Amino acid sequence: MSKRPLFYSAFVMNTASHVLHGLWRAPDAQNHRFNSLRHWTSVAAEVERCGYDLLFFADVFGLRAPWNGSWRKAVEGGIQVPVNDPSVLASALAAATTDLGIVFTSSIIQDHPFNFARRMSSLDHYTEGRLGWNVVTSFNENVFRSFGHDGILDHDARYAWAYEYLDVAYKLWEGSWDEGALVQDKKRSIHADPAGIHKINHVGERYRVEGPHFVSPSPQRTPVLFQAGASPAGQLFSARNAEGVYISSPHPAAAAALTQETRALAAANGRNPDDIRFAQGLSFVIGDTHREAVRREDEIKRYLDLEGVALHVLGDAGVDPGGRSLDTPLSELGEFKGVRGYARWAAEASGNANPTIRDLAWVMEGANRVVGTAEEIADYLEEWREAGVDGINVYHATVPGTFTEVADRLFPTLRERGLIATEKSGSLRHKLFGRGDRLPDTHPAAAYRGAFADNDLHNGVVEADSVGAPA
Amino acid sequence: MSKRPLFYSAFVMNTASHVLHGLWRAPDAQNHRFNSLRHWTSVAAEVERCGYDLLFFADVFGLRAPWNGSWRKAVEGGIQVPVNDPSVLASALAAATTDLGIVFTSSIIQDHPFNFARRMSSLDHYTEGRLGWNVVTSFNENVFRSFGHDGILDHDARYAWAYEYLDVAYKLWEGSWDEGALVQDKKRSIHADPAGIHKINHVGERYRVEGPHFVSPSPQRTPVLFQAGASPAGQLFSARNAEGVYISSPHPAAAAALTQETRALAAANGRNPDDIRFAQGLSFVIGDTHREAVRREDEIKRYLDLEGVALHVLGDAGVDPGGRSLDTPLSELGEFKGVRGYARWAAEASGNANPTIRDLAWVMEGANRVVGTAEEIADYLEEWREAGVDGINVYHATVPGTFTEVADRLFPTLRERGLIATEKSGSLRHKLFGRGDRLPDTHPAAAYRGAFADNDLHNGVVEADSVGAPA
C-alpha cells in the first residue's frame, strides 16, 4: 500500500464540549472560550505552527433528543450546546494563517445553494484556495423543526436533496464562469468578459436557480469536498462526490475493508479511486514511557463527564433512560438502534456480561484513543497507513492544549518515520492530492465545465419562458 | 437642533464599481482587488485609523435589468457584477481592527432567519459588539429567479415577509436566552443554565421556528439595525424597526422634512424618536482652494463611465435604451418610473430643455457630491446637522484612496468644528447612541425579553403537538 505521509486534521467544534465531554472543566482547557475571536485565531495559528494540514470544524445547531425528559443534562454539561456558526470564522482564520486548510461543516438544510455557493466562492478567494466543505444532511429533529419542517426527513429524501444541492453548487462553481472571464483591464476598460459568464438555469425537484454565479472563479472553484456518512447511502454519496472521507473504524482491518469498498464504488461511478483521501479519527495520549502515557490518560479521565458521553451516544440512538442511573444494564433500555453492537462492545471491554450504561460510556469515551510512546503510536499509524488510510483526524481533550501536545511529543517521531509531510503549502486540494487546485476531470462537477456556453451574458436575454435545463 | 458630532460611515460594496462607475480604472484605484482578503483587512484598518465610525457594505447578488438587450455593458463595466458576499469578511475585518463598526447588507431572501440569526450572533461575539445589519428586501428579478421564485414579489408582500423575518430574529436574539444563562463554571460543572434557555416556537405565515437560539447572548444581542428604503412602506418599516436610516436627500431642507416625518412616525409607533440615527450619503472632493477642488473633480470625471451610470440609474427604473445612443432625449424613452423628476433635474443641471440620457447621467453621477475647501464643506455639514441628520455616509471614488483623502484633508477641520467625535470605542450601538449595548425597552424586539419563560430546557419536553405561539 501507500507509503505517502499521512495528513493531519485538527478536529474541533465551535462549542465547549465536542467529543471528550467534561474536559472543558480541566484547568488548562480553553474550550469554553469559543465566543472569543482571539481564541480561534490563536488556535488556528497554533495548529498551523504545529504542522497540521487543516483545521476541521464539525457543526451542530439543534438540540439532541431529550435525556431524562429534558435538555437539562445536555445544557449543564455543554454537550454541543450552544454552538456558534463556523462559517463566519473562516476569513479571520485565513488572515491569521498562511497555509492551513480551513474546513467547516454546512448542512444542506441551512442555506439556499445559490447563497451558499456564493459564500463559499468568496471564502475560497479569501483563503486563497484553502477552503473545504464537509457536506452533511442533518439528522436531528429539533433542527428540522427550526427550519419549518414537521420533523426529520427520511434518509433517502435527505440524500436526494443533497444530490440536487451539490448539482446546483457544481453548476455555479464549475460551469457559470469560463477561465479568464475576469479580465480587469483598466486600459481596455474591460472588467469582465460577458461572453465568458453564463446563467445556469437549473430546474430540479427542490430548486430553480437562474444564475449566473455572482463570484468570479476562485482558486479551487469547488472547495475540497468532505463527507463522513457511514450508512450505505452515505458511502455511495462519498464514492460519487467526496474527496475527503472521515471514518471512525474500530481497527485498521475494518478501515481497510471500508476504504477498499468505497474506492471500488468510486471507480464503478467513473472516478479515479485515488481521488479520495480517507482520514481516521483518533485521539492520542503520549508518554516518554508507556507507563507515563497510561498515567496521563488517568489525568484526562478525572475530568470526564460520563453521563455526557452516555447522553451523546445513547441519545443519538434514540434512548432516554427515563431517570434510571448509569448503573442500569443496557438490557433494561429495550430495543434501540445499534444496541447489540454496543452491548457486545461494552461487555468485551468491561468484562461484564450484562454491561451497564456506565460500561458503555467508558468504552465509548475511550474509543479510538491511542495511548503510548511516540514510537508505539508511530508503529500503529503505519498499520493504519497500510490499511489504506491517508490521514488522521485528531480529536482533542483540550483546545489548544491537545494539538500542541500531539505536535510536540508525537510529530517529531512521525517526521523521522516519514509519516508526516514536511512541505505544507498551496491550495488545500493541492496539499491533499499534489496535482493542482482544481477537481479532476472524472469528478461529476467537471461535467458542467463549458455546459452553459449558450447562456452567456453578451448575446442577449434568455426570456422568462425559455428558462430550463441547458440543451 | 442637535449639536452632537456627526458619525461617519465608509460606504463600500464587495465589487469593483459601486457608485462612481468607471473610477476602478483610475491608476491608484484598488477597487478591483475585491477578491483579496488582504485588500479588505487593509481597507478596514485604514478606515479605522482615519477615524470613521463604521465600514458599511452594500450588497447586490443578481443582474440588473438588461441594457441594450443584454448584460454586456454591465459586465464589461463591472457595474456591481461580480459581487462577493460581505458577511464572510466580517470576522477578518474584526480581527484587523479594534473599534470600527462593521455593517453589512443581508436580504431576507438570502438566508433562513434561524440560520441568519445564528450567524449574526456569532459575529456579534467575534466583533465584540461592533456588528450592524442593513435589512433589505431584494427588488431584482434575477435575484428572485435564482432563489426559486417565478419573478419579483410585490412591495407589500416583501415587507410582510420582512416583518416576519425580523420577528423571528428578535425572538431568537432577545427572548431565547436569559441574561447570565451562560455560566461556564468549571468548579460547579455547569456550562449553562437550562432554566435560562427557551424555545421560541414561532409559527407564522412563512416560517415555523422551534428554537432555541443556538448562540449565547452576544454583546448587543440584536445587531444595530440599518435600513435605507425610501418608499412609504420602507419609511414605516424604518420608523418601527431601524436604528440607522441611510438617506440620500437632494438638500438639507428635504432631509429635515424626511427625518422629522420618520421620527414622528417612530413616536406614533411607540418608539423614542431619538432612537433613530439618520446618515446622509455624500461624496467629497476637497481642495486647499475652491478652484483646486474643482480641478480635482475634473480629474475624477476623466475616469467616469457615463454609460455605466446611465445603466445603473435607468436600468433600475426599467428602461432599456434599445441600442439608442447616450445623446437620445429622455423624452424618446417613453414612460418609466420617476421620468418626470429625472427630466426636470437633468434639464435644470444641463440647461437643456429636452435633456438627454447623457445629461441625466452627468447630473446623477454628481448627485450628492460636495466640492470645496474643508471650511466650505464643514459649513455645509453644519447645515445637514441642523436639518436633523446624525451622520454622513461617505461615497468613494477609489478604495481606499477616497477614505484616506477625506480623513486627511477634511476630518481635521471637522474636529476643530465639533463635527466629528474624538472618542470612538465601545459597541456600535453605544457609539451611535451613547447609552449602552442593548436595544432600548421601547423597541419592538424588547417585547420578547422574558416572553418564552415557560419553554425552558430544564422543565421537560414540549411535545410536538403543543408547538405554537407562546401563551
Residue range A235-274, pLDDT digits in tens: 999 999 999 999 999 999 999 999 999 999 999 999 999 9
Chain A residue numbers touching B32 (CB-CB < 8 A): 184, 186, 191
Strand bridging mode A190-192 / A182-185: antiparallel
Confidence (pLDDT) at A1: 46
Confidence (pLDDT) at A155: 86
Rounded to the nearest 10°, the torsion over CA B36, B39, B40, B44 is 170
Binding-face residues of B in 71-100 toward A, CB within 8 A: 71-72, 74-78, 81-85, 87-92, 94-96
pLDDT band at A430 (very low <50, low <70, confident <90, very high): very high
Choose among B187, B191, B457: nearest Cβ to A24.
B191
Chain B residue numbers touching A114 (CB-CB < 8 A): 146-147
Domain identity same for A11 and A99: yes
Nearest to B143 by CA among A214, A194, A117: A214
Q: What is the mean pLDDT of chain A?
A: 94
B277 contacts B390 by C-beta, under 8 angstroms: yes
Q: CA A340, CA A338: separation in Å to the nearest integer? A: 6
Is A45 part of the contact surface with chain B (CB cutoff 8 Å)? Answer: no
Confidence (pLDDT) at A337: 86
Enclosing domain of residue A149:
7-287+373-465
Domain identity same for A353 and A404: no
Residue A471 has pLDDT above 70, yes or no: no
pLDDT band at A422 (very low <50, low <70, confident <90, very high): confident
Asked if A70 and B457 come within 8 Å (Cβ–Cβ), the reply is yes
- Which set of grid coordinates corresponds to residue B355? 435633456
Residue range B119-152, pLDDT digits in tens: 999 999 999 999 999 999 988 899 999 999 998 8
Q: Give bridge partners of residue B208 from the DSSP assignment.
A: B203
Chain B residue numbers touching A122 (CB-CB < 8 A): 14, 84-85, 88-89
DSSP assignment letter at A172: I
> For residue B118, is it within any domain?
yes
Domain identity same for B263 and B381: yes
Domain identity same for B28 and B115: yes
Domain identity same for A274 and A125: yes
By percentage, how much of chain B surpasses pLDDT 90?
A: 87
- Which set of grid coordinates corresponds to residue A121? 466562492
Domain identity same for B304 and B401: no
Phi, psi torsion values for B261, nearest 5 degrees: -65, -45
- Which set of grid coordinates corresponds to residue B1? 437642533
Asked if A84 and B148 come within 8 Å (Cβ–Cβ), the reply is no
The alpha helices in A201-338, defined as continuous H runs, are 232-241, 252-268, 290-302, 306-316
Residue B465 has pLDDT above 60, yes or no: no
Confidence (pLDDT) at B470: 31
- A331, A348, A367 - which closes a domain: A367
Confidence (pLDDT) at A215: 98
CA distances to A429, B87, B201 from A224, rounded to whole Å, are 6, 21, 37
Residue B422 has pLDDT above 80, yes or no: no
Asked if A70 and B147 come within 8 Å (Cβ–Cβ), the reply is no
Domain identity same for A292 and A268: no
Nearest to A227 by CA among A183, A161, A279: A279
Total of domains in chain B: 2
In this structure, which amino acid lies at residue A152?
Answer: I
Distance from CA of B428 to the nearest CA of A (A): 17
Residue A202 has pLDDT above 60, yes or no: yes
pLDDT band at A390 (very low <50, low <70, confident <90, very high): very high
Higher pLDDT, A470 or B34: B34
pLDDT band at B405 (very low <50, low <70, confident <90, very high): very high
Domain identity same for B281 and B329: no
CATH of the domain at B395: 3.20.20.30
Domain identity same for A177 and A247: yes
Residue range A363-384, pLDDT digits in tens: 998 889 999 999 999 999 999 9
Domain identity same for A316 and A398: no
> For residue A55, is it within any domain?
yes
> For residue B1, is it within any domain?
no
Contacts of A435 (CB under 8 A, 6+ apart): none
In this structure, which amino acid lies at residue A9?
Answer: S
For B7-22, what is the mean pLDDT? 97
Domain identity same for A326 and A396: no
Predicted structure pTM score: 0.96
Size of interface A-B (CB pairs under 8 A): 270
Asked if B126 and A37 come within 8 Å (Cβ–Cβ), the reply is yes
Is B126 part of the contact surface with chain A (CB cutoff 8 Å)? Answer: yes
> For residue A240, is it within any domain?
yes
- What burial class does residue B106 get, using C-beta atoms within 10 Å of its C-beta: 0-12 exposed, 13-18 middle, 19+ buried? buried
> For residue A471, is it within any domain?
no
For B331-357, what is the mean pLDDT? 92
> For residue B210, is it within any domain?
yes
**E-assigned strands of B108-155?**
131-136
In this structure, which amino acid lies at residue A90?
Answer: A
Which of A308-317, A400-409, B415-424: highest mean pLDDT?
A: A400-409
Residue A460 has pLDDT above 80, yes or no: no
Confidence (pLDDT) at A138: 82
Domain identity same for B345 and B430: no
pLDDT band at B469 (very low <50, low <70, confident <90, very high): very low
> For residue B471, is it within any domain?
no
- A367, A402, A427 - which closes a domain: A367
Residue range B166-192, pLDDT digits in tens: 999 999 999 999 999 999 999 999 999
Confidence (pLDDT) at B464: 39
Residue B5 has pLDDT above 60, yes or no: yes
Strand bridging mode B54-58 / B7-13: parallel
- A367, A392, A407 - which closes a domain: A367
Q: CA A407, CA A400: separation in Å to the nearest integer? A: 11
Confidence (pLDDT) at B2: 54
> For residue A1, is it within any domain?
no
